[in-house]
Chains A and B, each alone.
Chain A
Amino acid sequence: MKCTKCGKKATVQLKHHNLALCGEHYSEWMCTQTERAIHHFKMFSKEDRLLVAVSGGKDSLSLWDILWKLGYQTEGLYLDLGIDKDTTYSKTSGELAKQFADQRELKLTSIDIKANYGETIPEMGARTRRGRQKPCSQCGLVKRYLLNQKAMEGKFDVILTAHNLDDEAAFLFSNLTHWNMPYLGRQYPVLPATTGFARKAKPFCLFYERETTAYAFLNGINYEHAECPYAKGSKQLQNKLYLNMVEDDQPGFKTQFYLGYLRAIQNGIFPQIQESAEALEKKRCSNCGQPTTSDGLCTFCRLVLKKKEEAG
């Protein structure tokens, strides 16, 4: 198979784009497509300060690498979640994220959850009924809260996450099968800033997971290959498996599925439900001051302060 652009041997075939590319042209294509998505969805500009959520995995490091090459103003935020479970998952991820940033002289802030809040994510989960087996919901809550808090404190214009099309399609598949309308209204690649919350964008939303991995490989990005030990058997992984089975038979299926959703949301089929600025202004967490839908403490402070109360 030959590169569509130069005729050399292709290393990546993109059936759904009817393309095959050599390493050099593939990396170039990834940068061009990222820039195109940023412009198409009006995510941000070169003047904006961007906070990249860095996990040490292939997606976030590839995203940071491409934004750096494209000349965007980025800083990284790594959250040390303290997830080990007989592995060195968090430790290795943090080291790889630091190594990546150091090699490119990029600024990376690291927050150790245990050092700051007294518990790792699995320990927080163990205190709750639903998080005892898998602390995924506590993990998501802590990550969302701290990313936003650091973005607001640091006056960043946008928070970037490296969700790819497979992540989005699997999440969409789950939300559609449950007809989860509030979530269906909030899965657009860019979410505007609201009172107390920074703008969020997903510049990799049109790339397959295979494509971000190929980019990391071809560009010598050293990333954490191991999966989060709590992800094993998760519904999202199962949904990805189903969607990949269909994609093998029908190249382009995942893209059509996701692009169809984006057209639907643009046509107002799924309402983009958002609390009004007035409503958000009225309810503030009594501890941290962040807007919240509940009375008193926000969900994050309820989770974290409970431990402090128990410790006396």
Chain B
Amino acid sequence: MEMTATLKTREKEISVRGNRPLYRILEDLQFSQQAYLAVREGILLTGDDQVQDGDVIELISVVSGG
């Protein structure tokens, strides 16, 4: 079975190819780095942090307002 990393937002879970920096994954998904914080095991990640296959990353939306 192919290993992937999992990105979780409030609305959905996305399987992505890991073993590359977070910012690359967000770029591929066309997610703005400005619009989310990424958390792995309770720790905030910066864009250059490596995401490994098997990682579960929570994406917290930062955008609010009506």
Q: Check: A198 CB closer than 8 A to any chain B CB.
A: no
Which residues of B are found within 8 Å of A10, using beta-carbon distances?
A: 46
The answer to whether B66 touches A136 (Cβ under 8 A) is yes
- Bound complex: CA of A248 vs CA of B23, how far in Å? 11
- Cross-interface CB contact of B46 among A1, A134, A228, A240, cutoff 8 Å: A1
- Cross-interface CB contact of B66 among A20, A214, A217, A236, cutoff 8 Å: A236
Q: Which of chain B's residues has its CB closest to A243's CB?
A: B34
Instruction: Say how far A104's CB is from chain B's closest CB, in angstroms.
Output: 22
Which residues of B are found within 8 Å of A304, using beta-carbon distances?
A: none
Given contacts A11-B43, A214-B44, contact A248 B63 (CB under 8 A): no
List residues 23-47 of chain B with CB under 8 A from any CB of chain A.
Answer: 32-35, 37, 39, 43-47
The answer to whether A228 touches B66 (Cβ under 8 A) is yes
Instruction: Say how far A256's CB is from chain B's closest CB, in angstroms.
Output: 15
Considering only CB atoms and an 8 Å cut-off, how many residues of chain A contact the other chain?
Answer: 39
Q: Check: B3 CB closer than 8 A to any chain A CB.
A: no
- Cross-interface CB contact of A210 among B10, B48, B62, B66, cutoff 8 Å: B62
Instruction: Say how far A3's CB is from chain B's closest CB, in angstroms.
Output: 10
Which residues of B are found within 8 Å of A99, using beta-carbon distances?
A: none
- Bound complex: CA of A236 vs CA of B39, how far in Å? 26
Instruction: Say how far A245's CB is from chain B's closest CB, in angstroms.
Output: 6
- Cross-interface CB contact of B44 among A12, A208, A209, A226, cutoff 8 Å: A12
Q: Check: A33 CB closer than 8 A to any chain B CB.
A: no
Which residues of B are found within 8 Å of A136, using beta-carbon distances?
A: 66
Instruction: Say how far A14's CB is from chain B's closest CB, in angstroms.
Output: 10
The answer to whether A245 touches B65 (Cβ under 8 A) is no
Q: Which of chain A's residues has its CB closest to B49's CB?
A: A1
Q: Check: B60 CB closer than 8 A to any chain A CB.
A: yes
The answer to whether A230 touches B63 (Cβ under 8 A) is no
- Bound complex: CA of A167 vs CA of B64, how far in Å? 9
A residues apposed to B, CB below 8 Å: 1, 10-13, 20, 23, 57-59, 134, 136, 139, 166-167, 170, 208-210, 212-214, 217-218, 225-228, 230-231, 234, 236-237, 240-241, 244-245, 247-248
A-B contact pairs, 17 of them (CB 8 A): A1-B49, A11-B44, A58-B64, A167-B65, A209-B64, A214-B37, A214-B44, A217-B37, A217-B60, A228-B64, A231-B66, A234-B65, A237-B65, A244-B34, A245-B32, A248-B32, A248-B33
